[in-house]
Structure formats: structure tokens, C-alpha cells
């Protein structure tokens, strides 16, 4: 089968012929139909500081996908060939104290599909049965291939009560845009999304985010005044990993606000410590999704009318992955879906 492989410890990815994996007793073999490119894949493509420390070539990339069950291991029950599925991209140990308390997303021994074990940028992949997520009718293949990043957005948005609150989201990447749309759907009073890239600002507006602010050109305080946000935002979702955005979200939060931090940086970020203390800010780090509560919530939001189609900007044949990565590099893409 064909697969997109990090074959060498240097910049780039290569399409290679590899063997179709064989499912073990507790595993499911999935024929991938659509996979989308994540920022993590771009880090691995670039072979940046994080990737060179954490990735061991050769590795098949990809963890955001949908496919059809092709074969099941001898001990597998509840999933059958022909089922439409996706999978949680973190394989957990089941033995640590967090796993044993059903807090699987906090497992310290987690292995990433497409990061530590072979991924979904291939015709087939094998995953443990316990990672498989069945996709209900009514959720399209494209939406199903986005459930992993949508889950990041939903995990952050559900971390605090947003209904009736004024919410600030920093960074209109695909995850920030989806998080803003989720907060709108959950009944926030105002959701303000900040960004510095013109293409992404336009994308966010077209995707349905009502208040998108170019913080290079507009003064956030004025935007807040115009929306009658007098004391600051009650909830903030940091989705850029940028120092200026971190400063913005802490400045714009009201006393006692709740901030979910999801953005990641290659640089050391500085938190304005005294502001956090004096404003009595609640901080929560967000990694991945809650397994599997976030998956359920994300699918229910989609079934309930959440429309995230606007974050998809490109649908490319699997072979054109290089073009996809070049679009991400140029900052002129939202979500890119590779079609098998």
C-alpha cells in the first residue's frame, strides 16, 4: 500500500510503498477514505525542534481521519467490517492512576497515532479496538475526518460555562475558528476571535464567526466598548501559541475569568504572573480531547446543527500532499483534506 512517510530525520515527507499492517487480536484494520492535515504533521514535515526530539523515523504520519473497517482481530467485538469509523489518536496505557480513574486523556504513557505509532496517511492503518469511534449516519465523511481537531476546540469550549458569557478566542486557525463557532452555538453572549493574518480573518468571517478582530489594525478595547463588554471577558480560549495573544487574553479577561490554554509554541512563553494573581484568573491547560466524552459531545453538536464546513479550504488527492503542506506554510489554508 502507499503511505506518506517520514523516512529520514530531515525536512520533507515521502510517498512510499509499505506492507498493509495485520491486526492483532484486539485491533481493527481500517481502510482510510479521508485524512486531514494537522499542525502536528507540519511540525514533523518541517523537522523542527519538537519533531526532532519526539519523532523516530521511519514513521507514517496522520491522525485525523475517517475510514471503513476492513478486518477485525480475533478478539474484537462490537465493530464489523464495513463500519464507518474514526479513532482517538492517543493510545493510552490503561494501567496508570489516571487511566484507572477513567481519565484516559491524562495518561502519562500515551502514544500518538502518526506520532509514535503508524498513522492514517496511508491506505490502511491498524488501531486498538478501544480507540475506534463509530460514526453515526448524518455525520459526513468530511466532518468525521475533522472530529479530532473539532474535539480540541470542543474540549476547550466545554471546559468552562460559556452560555451567556462574553468569550474571547485568540488565533483564528482551524481550531480557533471551530472553538468560536462552538461557543456561539453554546449560547455565549458575544464571541470575539482575534487574529493577525488577513487570510484567516476572512476565513473566520466566511465560516460564520460574528466578531473577528484584526488586532494589528483595530483596538480590542474599542471593540469591547462597542459590544458593551464593560469589565472584560468571562472566558478566554488561547488558540495561537503566540506571546502577544497570551498577553491580550490575560489583559482582556475580567477578574475571576477562566482561561483555557491550547496553543503551543516552539518558544518559551511568559505568563504575566502578577496579573494572574491579582485578577484571580483560573487557568486550564488543554491537551487533546477527553476520551471519549469530547467525541460524544462533538458529534452531538454536529447533529444539533453546528456547521464547521467553512474551515475546510482544500480537498486534495492523497498524492498532492506536498502542495497541501506548502499551502499551510504560506498561511493561505484552513483545513486541508486528503482524499484517498
Contacting residues toward Zn ion, per CB under 5 A: 92-93, 96, 99, 107
Smaller CB distance to ligand NAD: residue 7 or 197? 197
294 classed as catalytic: no
Please, what is the Cα angle at 111 between 312 and 262, to 5 degrees? Answer: 50
- Cα distances from 229 to residues 33, 106, 189, 308, in angstroms, run 45, 35, 10, 26
Smaller CB distance to Zn ion: residue 93 or 271? 93
Smaller CB distance to ligand NAD: residue 232 or 288? 288
Smaller CB distance to Zn ion: residue 128 or 310? 128
Q: Closest distance between ligand NAD and the C-beta of residue 79, in Å?
A: 26
Which option in Zn ion, ligand NAD, none does residue 162 bind, with CB closer than 5 to 8 A by kind?
none
Angle of helix 147-157 relative to helix 293-303, nearest 10 degrees, comes to 100
114 binds ligand NAD (CB under 6 A): no
Say how many residues make up the chain.
340
Smaller CB distance to ligand NAD: residue 133 or 203? 203
Q: Closest distance between ligand NAD and the C-beta of residue 138, in Å?
A: 26
Window 19-48: residues binding ligand NAD (CB under 6 A): 39
240 binds ligand NAD (CB under 6 A): yes
Q: Residue with C-alpha cell 494573581?
A: 277
| 3-class secondary structure, 66 | strand
For residues 331 and 197, the answer to whether their CB atoms sit within 8 Å is yes
Could you say which of 36, 152, 159, 294 contacts ligand NAD (CB under 6 A)?
152
Among candidate residues 30, 62, 54, the one with its CA nearest the CA of residue 148 = 62
262 binds ligand NAD (CB under 6 A): yes
| 3-class secondary structure, 326 | helix
110 classed as catalytic: no
Q: Closest distance between ligand NAD and the C-beta of residue 328, in Å?
A: 8
Q: Closest distance between ligand NAD and the C-beta of residue 311, in Å?
A: 9
Q: Closest distance between ligand NAD and the C-beta of residue 280, in Å?
A: 24
Could you say which of 264, 269, 316, 327 contacts ligand NAD (CB under 6 A)?
264
Among candidate residues 120, 60, 59, 42, the one with its CA nearest the CA of residue 88 = 120
Burial class (CB in 10 A: 0-12, 13-18, 19+), 103: middle
Smaller CB distance to Zn ion: residue 263 or 288? 288
DSSP string, 145-205: HTHHHHHHHHHHHTSS--TTSEEEEE--SHHHHHHHHHHHHTT-SEEEEEES-HHHHHHHH
**42, three cell numbers:** 507540519
Which option in Zn ion, ligand NAD, none does residue 107 bind, with CB closer than 5 to 8 A by kind?
Zn ion
> Which residue's CB atom is positioned nearest to ligand NAD?
173
**Distance separating alpha carbons of residues 37 and 44, to the nearest angstrom:** 11
Give the range of 82-90, 257-265, 274-282, 316-324 binding ligand NAD by CB under 6 A: 257-265
Catalytic residues: 40, 43
Question: Contact positions toward ligand NAD, by CB under 6 A?
Answer: 39, 152, 170-176, 194-197, 200, 215, 239-242, 244-245, 262-264, 286-288
Amino acid at each position: 500500500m502507499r503511505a506518506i512517510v517520514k523516512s529520514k530525520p530531515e525536512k520533507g515527507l515521502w510517498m512510499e510503498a509499505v506492507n498493509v499492517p495485520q491486526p492483532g487480536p484486539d485491533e481493527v484494520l481500517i481502510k482510510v477514505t479521508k485524512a486531514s492535515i494537522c499542525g502536528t504533521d507540519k511540525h514533523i514535515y518541517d523537522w523542527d525542534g519538537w519533531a526532532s526530539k519526539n519523532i523516530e523515523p521511519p514513521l507514517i504520519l496522520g491522525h485525523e481521519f475517517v475510514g471503513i473497517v476492513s478486518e477485525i482481530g480475533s478478539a474484537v467485538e462490537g465493530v464489523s467490517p464495513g463500519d464507518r469509523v474514526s479513532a482517538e489518536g492517543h493510545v493510552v496505557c490503561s494501567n496508570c492512576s489516571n487511566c484507572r480513574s477513567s481519565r484516559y486523556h491524562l495518561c502519562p504513557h500515551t502514544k500518538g497515532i502518526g506520532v509514535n505509532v503508524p498513522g492514517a496517511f496511508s491506505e490502511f492503518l491498524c488501531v486498538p479496538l478501544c480507540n475506534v469511534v463509530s460514526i453515526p449516519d448524518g455525520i459526513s465523511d468530511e466532518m468525521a475526518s475533522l472530529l479530532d481537531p473539532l474535539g480540541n476546540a470542543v474540549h476547550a469550549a466545554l471546559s468552562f460555562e460559556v452560555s451567556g458569557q462574553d468569550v474571547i478566542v485568540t488565533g483564528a486557525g482551524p481550531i480557533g475558528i471551530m472553538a468560536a463557532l462552538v461557543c456561539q452555538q453554546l449560547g455565549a453572549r458575544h464571541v470575539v476571535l482575534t487574529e493577525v493574518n488577513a487570510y484567516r480573518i476572512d476565513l473566520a468571517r466566511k465560516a460564520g464567526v460574528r466578531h473577528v478582530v484584526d488586532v494589528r489594525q483595530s483596538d480590542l478595547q474599542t471593540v469591547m466598548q462597542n459590544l458593551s463588554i464593560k469589565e472584560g471577558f468571562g472566558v478566554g480560549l488561547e488558540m495561537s501559541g503566540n506571546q502577544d495573544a497570551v498577553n491580550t487574553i490575560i489583559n482582556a479577561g475580567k477578574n475571576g475569568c477562566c482561561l483555557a490554554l491550547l496553543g503551543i509554541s516552539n518558544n518559551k512563553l511568559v505568563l504575566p504572573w502578577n496579573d494572574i494573581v491579582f485578577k484571580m484568573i483560573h487557568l486550564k491547560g488543554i491537551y487533546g480531547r477527553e476520551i471519549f466524552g469530547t467525541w460524544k459531545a462533538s458529534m452531538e453538536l454536529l447533529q444539533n446543527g453546528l456547521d464547521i464546513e467553512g474551515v475546510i479550504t482544500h480537498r486534495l488527492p492523497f498524492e498532492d500532499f506536498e502542495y497541501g503542506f506548502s499551502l499551510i506554510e504560506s498561511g493561505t489554508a484552513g483545513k486541508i483534506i486528503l482524499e484517498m
